[in-house]
Amino acid sequence: MGLFDKLFGRKDAEGLTDDERELREYEENVYRAESGVVDNCHAEYIITAAAPATNGKVLLNGSVTEGTFKAGDEINIVLRNSQVLTSKIITIAIHMALCETATEGQNADFLIETVDPKMIKRNDLVKKLIKENNAE
């Protein structure tokens, strides 16, 4: 029996050490994206670097500090001078692999629509735009 099966394959928590029980609880209740993070919730991302990409797009590197971002999300980039740029996430990559979402605690690259990358500095914030009325 492998460690994964030993920790997560049991129906009961009997026979697990405190550390194993804590790890199992974390895996089941906190780590998974379905643990209460919904699509239209507040989300923030701290920018580490910004670079121009092809066709006028901009590549952002940084970390998700709250919530979940997905490709297609409309975003605000809050600059240090309180200026706000509006854009849209085209694609998300984690460890150079394309992903549908990036959640809290993950380092991710966002390819976004056209903004001036020279305006964006380290520690600027990306905030997910929430549409109050989704009338479709």
pLDDT at 98: 94
In this prediction the pTM is 0.66
Q: How many angstroms separate the CA atoms of 108 and 86, rounded?
A: 19
**Mean pLDDT, the chain, integer:** 80
Q: Is residue 52 scored above 80 in pLDDT? A: yes
Q: How many angstroms separate the CA atoms of 33 and 30, rounded?
A: 8
For each of the domains in the chain, give its residue range(s) and CATH number, in order of start: 1-31 (no CATH), 44-128 (2.40.30.10)
Q: Is residue 24 scored above 80 in pLDDT? A: no
